[in-house]
Structure 1
Amino acid sequence: MTKTADSVWNECLSFIKDNIKPQAYKTWFEPIKPIKIAGEALTIQVPSKFFYEWLEEHYIKLLRVALMKQLGNDAKLIYDVRMENTYSSNRPQTVKIPSSNRNPLKSQNVTVPLETKNRELRNPFVIPGLQKVKIESQLNPNYNFNNFVEGDSNRLARSAGMAVANKPGGTSFNPLLIYGGVGLGKTHIAHAIGVEIKDKYPDKTVLYISSEKFTQQFIDSVKSNTRNDFIHFYQMIDVLIIDDVQFLSGKTGTQDVFFHIFNHLHQNGKQVILTSDKAPVDMQDIEQRLLSRFKWGLSAELQAPDYETRISILQNKLFRDGVEMPEEIVDYIAKNIKSNVRELEGVLISMIAQSSFNRREYTLELARQIVDKFVKNTKKEVSIDYIQKVVSKYFDMDVATLQSKTRKRHIVQARQLAMYFAKRMTKSSLASIGSQIGHRDHATVLHACKTVDNLTETDKLFRKYVDDLTKKLTF
């Protein structure tokens, strides 16, 4: 009997239905329509791009097994994705996307990524002599310069990243340190540089790794007595990208080995790219010799995007996802979500999901509901301005007096408390805090924080100040 798309998909559904909860089956599999079958390839239509991404992330193993039962080991799956709200013609626009697991059973031929190997093997650094070996870059191709929206808040970092990508190891931006708060695009730029370098220089060995993973690999190498293999492995890299380097803080052994790897790479004209949530001057418990090397190249700060950049980010995301949304809704989201790119895109994904699943139109009311929930569920960051106002009011003075040059004891203490809470409750750098509280330098802020810590332990009245202000600032 000749198999049809309908018959194959119905058999797949029977298997799937037995292996997941009824609600999940109803939500994610009932809306799917089989389109055609060609050899071992089945094409299915899904209602939206969001829908397709969810299936690939959560149900691909189940789909894989179901399909192989019907079409054999070489079974392939192709999605026919309906692009949301595109009414340019009488017929909705669709895009065909192959599943990322096109050839699922031939796993023995798949190169296991480095990070997966590290979990399975005691020694992931088996290197024949010092010959070059194939190294998986760990780069995410979705993070590239084409979909990174440039604005005043990130222009320096993006431009420096492009310069490094065009000439890795050949610019004065070595190392390139990109720093800033959560969700501002540090990891995106780091990956984008690596992706661009791999495109321009295919023979160069590029490796992206988090500092926590680097630390774990080092610990494993010490346990298995393969420390030298660990060092040799990293010395072979042409472009080393380490994410969240601030997590090396306090880890003296890892810092020491990274110091030697860094020196070798730098001296041999190799490129080092680092990301951090702090500027070098604000990093604590990191050896001075390492911090001095972080400052050899360029430190580029990423700041919260301004209104125009937020609009551009939203429009870019909508264009990439094939979604049309009224301008007033885009404007509303941009005006109400200001902190970072991740939250902006999170609201947009929630809007698209609500519209896809509940068949709701994009309305201002829907946007308000989602933004309100998002803001409530997101820990609100207290601003430095707000902290200064609360502290000034508590001590019965105005903000200008708090910021003044006077050395009167009660004013100095109020100023130190404002700096202390700004350091504790915001993501701002010490330099930025000092600049906003009376144009002081970062050393003054650091001294203020230490003074407050000491006085809190030794002075009962001062401890009461800290307790009272903590309650006022955290509602």
Structure 2
Amino acid sequence: MTEEFTHSPPPPLHWPGANAADERSAGQDLWQACAEQLARDLPEAQFNTWIKPLVAQVAQDFSKITLLVGNRFKLDWIRAQYASQITALLGDLYGQPMALELALVPRESVARTAHTRPSASGPPGAPGAESASAGRDEAPQALRHRLNAALTFETLVEGSANRMARSAGMHVAGMPGHLYNPLFVYGGVGLGKTHLVHAVGNRLLASRPQAKVLYVHAEQFVSDVVRSYQRRTFDEFKERYHSLDLLLIDDVQFFANKDRTQEEFFNAFEALLTKKSHLVMTSDTYPKGLSNIHERLVSRFDSGLTVAIEPPELEMRVAILINKAQAESTEMPEEVAFFVAKNVRSNVRELEGALRKILAYSRFNQKEISIQLAREALRDLLSIQNRQISVENIQKTVADYYKIKVADMYSKKRPASIARPRQIAMYLTKELTQKSLPEIGESFGGRDHTTVLHAVRKIAAERQQLTELNQQLHVLEQTLKG
């Protein structure tokens, strides 16, 4: 059964000399570019649940794209919630309308893929959402540990933004159950937290293939707790989670307001530490910044090593782009990587999305990758950035956050309650706009560029040392980026 959403397919795309393999690859690039955009537009849990598992089949003439869905419920949900958004994105990326079909995965395919990909749980409140049951006898190793084999330390680009977290993760993988237990990694969306925890699991399994390792998103743990209570399968639940050598759990902030889940996680936490197993957790904020989490659980989170992953600096963003382009068998000129890195500052996921757009645009238009091509491929992104993040917007947002007047940003007043927010606004202006130091100084009451440089360096250094300041800057950056 299929569901179709447009009815006027475009004329065939003609590529001189293109063969079937090229066309299939281009089709997959198109879907990947669409998926990357959806990853930026949707909450992470929604994307991972509904979009990531989809398998795309693109017609050779690009008249239609078919997305294969695992069951009828998911098909209906995606049709109602995401079909129009996906259709619009595909049209934008391809340059003309494309027909979108949703189809159920053939039964024989379901039987084959059931042993290669874990089921995903629906977002909280989604009707009829189900997830893979805890305690099943899942023979294939990949399903047992739920690790993505492609996410390794070798593919995780190192920089000052993630060096400490990466080093700690490698130590845990080499000597689990010793130092840094638990390891608590926090940072904003798309900075590589999930990549890091998968890398820890993959490194441990490479040296100890029989180790019991499990990666699980916090929402999956919640689902497993609920199901164990509903089905009275407590023994299976405990056998699964209390017998591990390494538990990797993503986004523990999702435990908020779930008392029963927090109780069971506390019990699992204690059981694993007692048997000298290791826990690695991620969150969007540091332990004491978590809301509606039991104090005794927060104290456990904070009892090992807590380390932040920051937004990648310019050089790291350039390296990420070049490396990921090479992984796609494409060479990205360094000047293009610098151009993209200077304009995509927030996180690795957005960098990957920008790269996908550029690769797809280059392939579809049969043009070499250049700064001009990158500018054309990313025109929507650049337009949004230029429109939304202005010096005036930064000044107003920072003033509102610290409860001072916008006029104080330009004034000569120097009390700490005003000077500090002003320095933060200068720092954010340097990070989020293309303004030069003299231009920034002019926007802040005609101050000298050395004053701006001092403010930028001061806030950048303190961000590395002061957890509270780092959290405030993270909130401001997310607010400004919408």
Task: Using structure 1 for the length normalisation, give the TM-score.
Answer: 0.63
* Structure 1 match to 2:442: none
* Structure 2 match to 1:142: 150
Deviations 1:187-245 (A, max 9, x none): 11011111111111100111111101111121122122223422232112211111001
Q: CA deviation at 1:395?
A: 6.0
Tell me the SS of whatever aligns to 2:154. Answer: helix
Tell me the SS of whatever aligns to 2:223. Answer: helix
Deviations 1:387-423 (A, max 9, x none): 445654436574864534xxxxxx89x98xx99xx9x
* Structure 2 match to 1:210: 217
* Structure 2 match to 1:305: 312
- Alignment CA distance shift 1:401-1:372 (3 Å): farther
CA distance in structure 1 between the aligned counterparts of 2:207 and 2:413, rounded to whole angstroms? 54
CA distance in structure 2 between the aligned counterparts of 1:473 and 1:123, rounded to whole angstroms? 38
* Structure 2 match to 1:57: 55
Q: CA deviation at 1:319?
A: 1.5
Contact 2:119/2:132 (CA < 8 Å) preserved in 1?
no
Q: 2:119 matched to 1:115? A: yes
Deviations 1:258-295 (A, max 9, x none): 00000000110111110111001211111111111111
Contact 2:28/2:58 (CA < 8 Å) preserved in 1?
no
Q: 2:175 matched to 1:167? A: yes
Q: CA deviation at 1:133?
A: 11
Q: 2:189 matched to 1:182? A: yes
* Structure 2 match to 1:403: 416
Tell me the SS of whatever aligns to 2:351. Answer: helix
- Alignment CA distance shift 1:109-1:46 (3 Å): closer
Q: CA deviation at 1:53?
A: 5.8
Deviations 1:4-63 (A, max 9, x none): xxxxxxxxxxxx9x9x97848946999874xxxxxxxxxx62258554566893029999
Contact 2:121/2:223 (CA < 8 Å) preserved in 1?
no
Contact 1:157/1:302 (CA < 8 Å) preserved in 2?
yes
* Structure 1 match to 2:406: 394
Pick aligned residue for 1:373 from 364, 367, 380: 380
| 1:63-462 pair list within 5 angstroms | 107=111, 111=115, 113-115=117-119, 124-126=133-135, 136-169=144-177, 171-376=178-383, 387-388=397-398, 392-394=404-406, 396=408, 398=411, 401=414, 403-404=416-417, 442=468
- Alignment CA distance shift 1:222-1:400 (3 Å): farther
Contact 1:310/1:334 (CA < 8 Å) preserved in 2?
yes
CA distance in structure 2 between the aligned counterparts of 1:286 and 1:297, rounded to whole angstroms? 18
- Alignment CA distance shift 1:473-1:45 (3 Å): closer
Letter paired with 2:57: Y
CA distance in structure 1 between the aligned counterparts of 2:55 and 2:155, rounded to whole angstroms? 21
Contact 1:113/1:136 (CA < 8 Å) preserved in 2?
no
Higher Cα Rg, which structure = 1
Deviations 1:124-154 (A, max 9, x none): 34579xxx99761111111111111000010
- Alignment CA distance shift 1:336-1:182 (3 Å): same
Contact 1:231/1:257 (CA < 8 Å) preserved in 2?
no
- Alignment CA distance shift 1:210-1:122 (3 Å): closer
CA distance in structure 1 between the aligned counterparts of 2:147 and 2:30, rounded to whole angstroms? 21
Contact 1:184/1:303 (CA < 8 Å) preserved in 2?
yes
CA distance in structure 2 between the aligned counterparts of 1:343 and 1:257, rounded to whole angstroms? 35
Contact 1:122/1:220 (CA < 8 Å) preserved in 2?
no
Tell me the SS of whatever aligns to 1:140. Answer: coil
* Structure 2 match to 1:468: none
Deviations 1:83-121 (A, max 9, x none): xxxxxxxxxxxxxxxxxx9xx669369636553699998
How many residues align? The count is: 363
CA distance in structure 2 between the aligned counterparts of 1:396 and 1:267, rounded to whole angstroms? 55
Identity of aligned residues (%): 31
CA distance in structure 2 between the aligned counterparts of 1:29 and 1:58, rounded to whole angstroms? 21
Q: Extract unaligned runs of 5+ from structure 1.
A: 1-15, 34-43, 66-100, 405-410, 427-431, 450-471
CA distance in structure 2 between the aligned counterparts of 1:47 and 1:120, rounded to whole angstroms? 35
Tell me the SS of whatever aligns to 1:318. Answer: helix
Q: CA deviation at 1:360?
A: 2.7
Letter paired with 2:406: Y
Pick aligned residue for 1:45 from 14, 17, 21: 21
Q: CA deviation at 1:122?
A: 9.3
CA distance in structure 2 between the aligned counterparts of 1:318 and 1:133, rounded to whole angstroms? 31
- Alignment CA distance shift 1:235-1:54 (3 Å): farther
Letter paired with 2:203: E
Letter paired with 1:394: V
CA distance in structure 1 between the aligned counterparts of 2:131 and 2:345, rounded to whole angstroms? 45
- Alignment CA distance shift 1:374-1:133 (3 Å): closer
CA distance in structure 2 between the aligned counterparts of 1:388 and 1:122, rounded to whole angstroms? 42
CA distance in structure 2 between the aligned counterparts of 1:138 and 1:440, rounded to whole angstroms? 35
- Alignment CA distance shift 1:28-1:52 (3 Å): farther
RMSD after superposition: 4.7
CA distance in structure 2 between the aligned counterparts of 1:313 and 1:133, rounded to whole angstroms? 32
Tell me the SS of whatever aligns to 1:367. Answer: helix
CA distance in structure 2 between the aligned counterparts of 1:327 and 1:249, rounded to whole angstroms? 44
Contact 1:176/1:274 (CA < 8 Å) preserved in 2?
yes
* Structure 1 match to 2:90: none
Tell me the SS of whatever aligns to 2:378. Answer: helix
Letter paired with 1:239: L
- Alignment CA distance shift 1:143-1:365 (3 Å): same
CA distance in structure 2 between the aligned counterparts of 1:174 and 1:313, rounded to whole angstroms? 29
Q: CA deviation at 1:164?
A: 0.8
Judge which range, 283-292 or 372-381, deviates more. Answer: 372-381
- Alignment CA distance shift 1:279-1:400 (3 Å): farther
Q: CA deviation at 1:345?
A: 1.5
